[in-house]
């Protein structure tokens, strides 16, 4: 079964929410169109929720919390095991949904979007085996207890990946959840709700309400019975959620925007790492908050880097996401496509050197939100393309004269989500990585590590996801003095 829209239509789940263990009709009649960004055609219509739907979902989660929070870790792990197995069993259906709803190439959806999402269920399941929910410090017991009802607000760019990155550790911690996925890429979220149902998730432990940020998102953030909010999105959206949550003094975990640097040290293997740097910046068509979109290179190597970057982009195949050979599909929605075009025009008007790409669609593509993979060089760090998150396939190459200057440029941003450093001398490479003000630094293209905590400094947010630290976001700390005689 690979047609997710047909399946969801037949099951009548496009027009329903998953609340308290069953699929229910929404309170209101508002609907939203789901558009395939590769064709610009409407492919489905989903229901949008309101405050009444949020109230039902939060009430269900609150009722379920008492029993779910008391489950032993092995019971919670058993549910996560069933969820993990079902995601892998339905991997092709998820991949096709992600291709349709956000224009991701089917090969990339199969190789990255879905399997990496499954890892965010497996890891908290495995971590439950030895997580220190109770520890001793002298005669005091330190207990880690689930915080309560967690509202999870997820974005459109990694739709399934970001859902599992929150749902997995939240359930492992003993929380109950209400998920609000992006209304722009909701198909994989509805399929995930089916997985939760099929896995035998107890009623109220997992709830899904589709809707807009200003309506459903704000209602969740401000709800007095919601104990914490975890949001992945833009810095603007994170600020709005924090403001809505402030009157009830709930915890807010934010994974927000980024403008990550990629420092090529003078002794790096440029022939290898420039291409990898370009690929990292433009993976998922540049729609990743941690994408290393500022490549910092020694000034005397600038021409060489331009040639290598151009060569790397020329190897891309931009086009129909359904084709196996496509490496880069469409921008996920019209608004973001227009944003990318505006920023490319800004780079040209500011005087950056256009190495490859530029405004408009690639040759031969007359429809769809396809952008030309674009590389700018001779960029100064005060240009808009060096400071603002573009969220598209746009790379800025900035020259530096000393390693100290490279570090200064790398940290000269309001963001601090990720960074990359390449170099042959590992002592110096590690020393440079240690100076970067970012929550996660990649040294010489390491493999994905789902146990490595991920999150930001500065305006890139607060809190962490993945690994033990990701589960700790959903836990309170209780000290019981005199617990041990």
Distance between CA atoms of 329 and 347, rounded to whole angstroms?
Answer: 23
Residue with tokens 């020329």: 314
Structure tokens that stand for 3 in this block: 């047609």
* Residues 47/19, Cβ–Cβ less than 8 Å: no
C-alpha to C-alpha distance for 168 and 164, rounded to whole angstroms? 5
Sequence-separated (6 or more) residues with CB below 8 Å from residue 121: 80, 83, 84, 87, 164, 167, 168
Check if 183 is active-site.
no
> What is the model's pLDDT at position 327?
98
255 catalytic, yes or no?
A: yes
* Beta strands across the sheet bearing 251-255: 22-24, 17-19, 206-208, 176-180, 149-153, 228-232, 251-255, 461-462
What gap in Å lies between CA 474 and CA 466, rounded to an integer? Answer: 12
* Class of residue 292 by CB neighbours under 10 A (exposed 0-12, middle 13-18, buried 19+): buried
| Distant-in-sequence, close-in-space partners of 436: CB < 8 Å, separation ≥ 6 | 261, 263, 407, 410, 411, 419, 421
Token pair of 76, please? 């919670």
Full 3-state SS string of 162-190: HHHHHHHHHHHHCCEEEEECCCCCCHHHH
Backbone angles phi, psi at 63, to 5 degrees: -65, -40
Beta bridge partners of 33: 45
Length of the chain: 485
Determine the 3-state secondary structure of 127 from DSSP.
helix
Q: For residues 365 and 363, what is the distance between their CA atoms, to the nearest angstrom?
A: 6
Residue 69 phi/psi, 5° resolution? -65, -20
- Per-residue confidence in pLDDT tens, the chain, 485 aa: 578 999 999 999 999 999 999 999 999 999 999 999 999 999 999 999 999 999 999 999 999 999 999 999 999 999 999 999 999 999 999 999 999 999 999 999 999 999 999 999 999 999 999 999 999 999 999 999 999 999 999 999 999 999 999 999 999 999 999 999 999 999 999 999 999 999 999 999 999 999 999 999 999 999 999 999 999 999 999 999 999 999 999 999 999 999 999 999 999 999 999 999 999 999 999 999 999 999 999 999 999 999 999 999 999 999 999 999 999 999 999 999 999 999 999 999 999 999 999 999 999 999 999 999 999 999 999 999 999 999 999 999 999 999 999 999 999 999 999 999 999 999 999 999 999 999 999 999 999 999 999 999 999 999 999 999 999 999 999 999 999 99
Find the catalytic residue in 119, 255, 389, 465. Answer: 255
pLDDT at 1: 53
Q: Cα(247)–Cα(249) distance, rounded to whole angstroms?
A: 6
| Distance from C-alpha of 274 to C-alpha of 116, rounded to nearest angstrom | 24
Q: Residue 447 is encoded by which pair of tokens?
A: 């493999």
> Phi/psi of residue 318, each to 5°?
-100, 130
- Angle ∠(102,103,104) on CA atoms, nearest 5: 100
DSSP per-residue codes, 73-97: HHHHHHHHHHHHHHHHHTHHHHHHH
Instruction: Give all domains of the chain, ordered by start, each with its CATH number.
Output: 4-256+460-480 (3.40.605.10), 261-450 (3.40.309.10)
**What single-letter DSSP state applies at residue 100?**
H
pTM above 0.85? Answer: yes
In 3D, which of 135, 140, 232, 130 has the Cα closest to residue 179? Answer: 232
Tokens of 200: 């035998």
Which of 119, 201, 289, 306 does the annotation list as catalytic? 289
**206 neighbors 189 (Cβ within 8 angstroms):** no
Tokens 């990292």 belong to residue: 280
């Amino acid at each position: 079964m690979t047609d997710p829209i047909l399946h969801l239509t037949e099951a009548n789940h496009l027009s329903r929410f998953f609340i308290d263990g069953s699929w229910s009709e929404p309170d209101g009649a508002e609907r939203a169109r789901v558009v395939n960004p590769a064709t610009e055609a409407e492919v489905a219509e989903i229901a949008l929720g309101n405050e009444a739907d949020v109230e039902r979902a939060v009430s269900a989660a609150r009722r379920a919390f008492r029993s779910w929070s008391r489950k032993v870790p092995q019971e919670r792990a058993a549910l996560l095991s069933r969820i993990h197995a079902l995601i892998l069993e339905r991997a092709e259906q998820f991949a096709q949904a992600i291709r349709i709803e956000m224009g991701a190439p089917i090969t990339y959806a199969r190789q990255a979007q879905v399997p990496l999402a499954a890892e965010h269920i497996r890891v908290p399941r495995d971590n439950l085996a030895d997580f220190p929910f109770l520890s001793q410090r002298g005669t005091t017991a330190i207990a880690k207890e689930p915080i309560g009802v967690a509202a999870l607000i997820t974005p459109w760019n990694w739709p399934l990946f970001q859902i599992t990155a929150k749902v997995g550790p939240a359930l492992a911690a003993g929380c109950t959840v209400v998920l609000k996925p992006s209304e722009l890429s909701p198909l994989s979220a509805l399929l995930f709700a089916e997985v939760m149902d099929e896995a035998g998730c107890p009623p109220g432990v997992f709830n899904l309400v589709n809707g807009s940020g200003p309506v459903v998102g704000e209602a969740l953030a401000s709800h007095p019975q919601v104990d914490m909010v975890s949001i992945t999105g833009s810095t603007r959206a994170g600020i709005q959620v924090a403001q809505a949550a402030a009157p009830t003094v709930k915890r807010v975990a934010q994974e927000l925007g980024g403008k990550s640097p990629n420092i090529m040290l003078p002794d790096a293997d440029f022939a290898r790492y420039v291409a990898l740097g370009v690929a990292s910046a433009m993976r998922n068509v540049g729609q990743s908050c941690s994408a290393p979109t500022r490549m910092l290179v020694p000034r005397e190597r600038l021409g060489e880097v331009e040639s290598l970057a151009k060569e790397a982009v020329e190897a891309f195949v931009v086009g129909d996401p359904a084709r196996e050979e496509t490496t880069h599909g469409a921008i996920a929605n019209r608004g973001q496509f227009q944003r990318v075009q505006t920023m490319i025009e800004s780079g040209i008007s500011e005087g950056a050197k256009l190495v490859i790409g530029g405004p408009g669609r690639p040759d031969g593509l007359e429809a769809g939100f396809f952008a030309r993979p674009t590389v700018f060089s001779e960029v100064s760090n005060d240009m808009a393309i060096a400071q603002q998150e573009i969220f598209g396939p746009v790379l800025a190459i900035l020259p530096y004269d000393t390693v100290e200057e490279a570090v200064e440029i790398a940290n000269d941003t309001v963001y601090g989500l990720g960074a990359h450093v390449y170099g042959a001398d590992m002592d110096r490479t590690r020393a440079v990585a240690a100076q970067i003000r970012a929550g996660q630094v990649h040294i010489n293209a390491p493999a994905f590590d789902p146990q490595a905590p991920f999150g930001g400094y500065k305006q890139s947010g607060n809190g962490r996801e993945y690994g033990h630290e990701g589960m700790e976001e959903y836990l309170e700390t209780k000290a019981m003095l005199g617990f041990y005689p």
